[in-house]
Structure 1
Amino acid sequence: MKLLAIEPQQYMHYYQARYQRAETYGHVVYVLNGTGTEDFWPAERYRLVGSKQIDDIIAEAKRWHAEEHFDGVITFAEFAVTAVAAVAEALGLPGIDVRAAIQSRNKYLMRQAYERGGAPIPSYRYVAELRDALSAAEEFGYPVILKPTLGAGSYYVFKVHSPAEMAERFGQAQDGIAHLGDLLADADGMDLGPNGLLVESFLDGKEYLIEGVAWDDEVYLGSVVDRITAEGDNFDDDVHHAPTTLGEDDLAKVHRAVTLAAHAQGLRRSVMHAEVRFHNGEPHLLEIAARVGGGGLEDIAKLTADHDPIEATVDIGLGRKPRVRHFQPTGTHITAMCLISAAGIVEQVVVPDEVANSDKVFLLKITAKPGDKIKRPPEGNTIIGFLGTKGSSFEEAFDTMNDFASKIQVNFATPATSPSELLEHA
């Protein structure tokens, strides 16, 4: 089978490994990037449109489809979900409809869909000005969450504790979303709904990450992972643990909540990355993305729950039901983390043999390449890569992960001492 993968704007080499993995299932992957580098994929299966405009991307996809007769269109990128839906529709291939894709991309439209469908969510308000944000925060009670409607990767997401802090963070977030499109690279020429800010009530319980599948009337929680981050105010340092500590009753609650939300969002045949957080003993939806989660969650799902989100993406792209089951842990203990560094221009990332060759490591991906720009909150949330370790217990896996992470060295060609200095190199 021939699969067409799309990125409106190439995001470094972040998704290359997933395209390669999709080919291990016996398919051939062709990559169409709106803009990007010439050497990203084998030349005979790679095209650059030279534009992020959705009409240009669709036109080139149609030309290529006439030659190759693709069997499906896929993406692993948050900012490509809407473009892929539009291309699949234009080519007459399986895919979620464009409206569902937009509701999966825009957090404000997503919240409205959840309300209509009766899915449990935090209180929220779309805020155009600081006074609106202050009013919402006063009503909900501090702390609150401030986030972009069209964000991803925790860019410009803040936990805000006071009116004074809201004034500071609101300005940072408002300035940030002005160039967020350049960072996340959605296709141009599509109406993705309001591009602004939300204030949400804070949910004070634990958070869980789910790799799932919606197939017709059923929703499957393929993998459930605990987020164990020592939380700050920027939500940029994800650390995960599996198997989940949730009991059967809470898992049933989560399944009901995610099912309501997925159907409200319009996801009938789709992979899903769902984020759920408890509050007063009940699960609330943070979001459902219509793509596979990042941070190595595909490897975690396979190892700890025998669920393969990459294979599910491929199967659904081809219009067939994936091999999926309701959540059933394998019993393997893992911890995994995003590798975070200081800001700067990367010269080299050095991984010692002790880490690279350890049988305790199940996940090691260095996504940052020489010359890449690393940005830190509030200007951005670029990571170096991912590290995951396994053990006979949570404690063993966690201690090994932290020890190995401390031994990975990042050398900078141009360290940034201030946000303005880093932006000069952008």
Structure 2
Amino acid sequence: MKLLAIEARQNATYYVSRYEQIVGLGADLYVLNGEGTDDFWRADRYRVAGSREVAELIAAAKEWHAEERFEGVLTFSESGVLAVAAVAEALGLPGIGVEAARASRNKLLMRQAHERGGAAHPSFRYVTDEAQALAAAEEFGYPVIVKPTLGAASNYVFRADDADELRARHAQAAEGLTELSWYAMEAGGLDLGPHGLLIESFLDGDEYLIEAVVWDDEVYLGSIVDRVTAEGDTFDDDVHHAPTALTPAQVTAVHEVVAAGARAQGLVRSVMHAEVRFHDGRPHLVEIAARPGGGGLDHMARISAGHDPIAAVADVARGVRPDVRHFTPTGVHTAAMCLLPPASGRVEEIHVPDRLVEHDGVFFFKLTARPGDLVRRPPEGNSILGFLGVTGTSFEDAMSTAEDLAGQVRADLR
């Protein structure tokens, strides 16, 4: 299979390991970056369009497609979903369609779709100033969530417990819109929908991360991972565990709300990363992204549930039904977490102990920050140092090992 991966603006080397997984599945993978470095991928399978404008990306993809005859176009980036949909449409290749991509990228359009489709979701309001934010919070009741419509990775997502906190968080999030890297990595010339802030009612229960596939209106929950982070007023997707603690009845309820959300967003054949949170005993949609989850969630899915989200991406991209089944946990305990810097600053050095590298239980370890990188912590951003995933004999064993090893990774910042 011959596939084309696209990033409108290269996100450092973040997706290289996933591109390598695609190659490991037997694919001949070509990479097109709108803006990117020269040495990013194998030279004879890599091109830089020289612009992140969608018209330039389409023109470069068409020229290359005429030479190579790609079977599909793919992305692993939240910022690439719309661009890939537009390129696939222009090349006459399988895709989710631009309208479904827009509804799966812009959080306001996603919420409106959920509302129309009857999928359980928090109350929401698009706001353009502080007064509107305060009025929405008064209507919903505190606490409330502030989030960008075109964000990702919890950047500039805050919880506000009262009006004073909301004023401060709204100002921080509004200022952050101008520096939001996920927005800056979008292709130019596309209608992305409103770029601004939402106020949402707070969902007070536990959160679950799901790797799923929709194929001709049948939704398959490939894996379910429990988010076990102790939360504050900012949100780091930093500690996860599988297999899930959900009961069979709760899994059924989660399946129903994810299926309703997928239909509402217009997703017919797609991989999905769904985030679901319980409220008053019922699952509600936080979001459904039309791409797999990041970090080590693909590894957790394979180990804890026998589901391969990366293989699903390759299959869906070329219009082939993935080898997927309804959620069936393997019983193997896994724990994974983001490695967080202690503060904002520029990385001088990251210290990784030999014990971590050599540990038999480590199934995933990846540093995403390098010396010289600027990392930002809330409220300026949600930068991380990397990811760590381990297996264990029980929930307690896996969590203890992950926390112990993660605590030994140290970053020197200035």
- Report TM bin, short chain: over 0.9
Taking the aligned partners of 1:7 and 1:381, their CA distance within structure 2 comes to 21
DSSP-derived class of the 2:275 partner: strand
Give the alignment of 1:45-64 within 5 angstroms: 45-64=45-64
Superposition deviation, residue 323 in structure 1: 0.5
Taking the aligned partners of 1:10 and 1:184, their CA distance within structure 2 comes to 11
Aligned-residue CA RMSD (Å): 1.1
Does residue 301 in structure 1 map to residue 301 in structure 2?
Answer: yes
The answer to which of 162-171 and 362-371 deviates more is 362-371
1:293-330 CA distance string (max 9 Å, x none): 01210000000000000000000001100000000000
Give the letter aligned to residue 381 of structure 1: N
Taking the aligned partners of 2:148 and 2:100, their CA distance within structure 1 comes to 19
Name the structure 2 match of 1:325: 325
Give the alignment of 1:8-87 within 5 angstroms: 8-87=8-87
Taking the aligned partners of 2:178 and 2:63, their CA distance within structure 1 comes to 34
Give the letter aligned to residue 387 of structure 1: L
Superposition deviation, residue 194 in structure 1: 0.6
Taking the aligned partners of 1:201 and 1:222, their CA distance within structure 2 comes to 28
Give the letter aligned to residue 305 of structure 1: A
Taking the aligned partners of 1:184 and 1:213, their CA distance within structure 2 comes to 28
Name the structure 2 match of 1:204: 204
The answer to which of 76-85 and 177-186 deviates more is 177-186
Superposition deviation, residue 389 in structure 1: 1.2
Name the structure 1 match of 2:374: 373
Give the alignment of 1:263-278 within 5 angstroms: 263-278=263-278
Give the letter aligned to residue 370 of structure 2: K
Taking the aligned partners of 2:215 and 2:232, their CA distance within structure 1 comes to 36
Runs of 4+ in 1 over 3 A off after TM superposition: 181-184
Name the structure 2 match of 1:153: 153
Name the structure 2 match of 1:175: 175
Superposition deviation, residue 5 in structure 1: 0.3
Taking the aligned partners of 2:174 and 2:412, their CA distance within structure 1 comes to 32
Give the letter aligned to residue 350 of structure 1: H
Taking the aligned partners of 2:11 and 2:312, their CA distance within structure 1 comes to 22
1:232-263 CA distance string (max 9 Å, x none): 11102521000000001111001011000001
Taking the aligned partners of 2:206 and 2:109, their CA distance within structure 1 comes to 25
Superposition deviation, residue 28 in structure 1: 1.0
Give the letter aligned to residue 301 of structure 1: A
Name the structure 1 match of 2:412: 411
Taking the aligned partners of 1:407 and 1:204, their CA distance within structure 2 comes to 32
Taking the aligned partners of 1:169 and 1:324, their CA distance within structure 2 comes to 41
CA contact (8 A) 1:237 1:340 kept: no
Give the letter aligned to residue 395 of structure 1: E
Taking the aligned partners of 1:362 and 1:181, their CA distance within structure 2 comes to 29
Superposition deviation, residue 168 in structure 1: 0.8
Taking the aligned partners of 2:261 and 2:245, their CA distance within structure 1 comes to 23
DSSP-derived class of the 1:304 partner: helix
Superposition deviation, residue 181 in structure 1: 5.0
CA contact (8 A) 1:152 1:184 kept: no
Name the structure 1 match of 2:392: 391
Taking the aligned partners of 1:218 and 1:132, their CA distance within structure 2 comes to 39
Does residue 254 in structure 1 map to residue 272 in structure 2?
Answer: no
Give the alignment of 1:118-197 within 5 angstroms: 118-180=118-180, 184-197=184-197
CA contact (8 A) 1:143 1:160 kept: yes
Name the structure 2 match of 1:98: 98
Name the structure 2 match of 1:311: 311
CA contact (8 A) 1:349 1:411 kept: yes
Give the letter aligned to residue 67 of structure 1: E
Superposition deviation, residue 183 in structure 1: 5.9
CA contact (8 A) 2:153 2:237 kept: no
DSSP-derived class of the 1:85 partner: helix
Give the letter aligned to residue 380 of structure 2: E
Give the letter aligned to residue 365 of structure 1: K
Structure 1 runs not aligned, ≥5 long:
416-426
Taking the aligned partners of 1:339 and 1:11, their CA distance within structure 2 comes to 18
The answer to which of 300-309 and 37-46 deviates more is 37-46
DSSP-derived class of the 1:337 partner: strand
Number of aligned residue pairs = 413
Taking the aligned partners of 2:101 and 2:161, their CA distance within structure 1 comes to 33
Give the letter aligned to residue 27 of structure 2: H
Superposition deviation, residue 343 in structure 1: 2.2
DSSP-derived class of the 2:139 partner: helix
Superposition deviation, residue 380 in structure 1: 1.4
Taking the aligned partners of 1:309 and 1:319, their CA distance within structure 2 comes to 15
1:65-89 CA distance string (max 9 Å, x none): 1111111100000000000000000
Change in Cα spacing, 1:350 to 1:359, as seen in structure 2 (3 Å) is same
Does residue 89 in structure 1 map to residue 89 in structure 2?
Answer: yes
Superposition deviation, residue 49 in structure 1: 1.2
Name the structure 2 match of 1:285: 285
TM-score (norm 2): 0.98
DSSP-derived class of the 1:82 partner: helix
CA contact (8 A) 2:227 2:237 kept: no
Superposition deviation, residue 350 in structure 1: 2.5
Taking the aligned partners of 1:10 and 1:232, their CA distance within structure 2 comes to 32
Taking the aligned partners of 1:343 and 1:132, their CA distance within structure 2 comes to 31
1:6-35 CA distance string (max 9 Å, x none): 011111111000000000111111111111
DSSP-derived class of the 1:178 partner: helix
Taking the aligned partners of 1:182 and 1:355, their CA distance within structure 2 comes to 31
DSSP-derived class of the 1:236 partner: coil
Superposition deviation, residue 182 in structure 1: 6.5
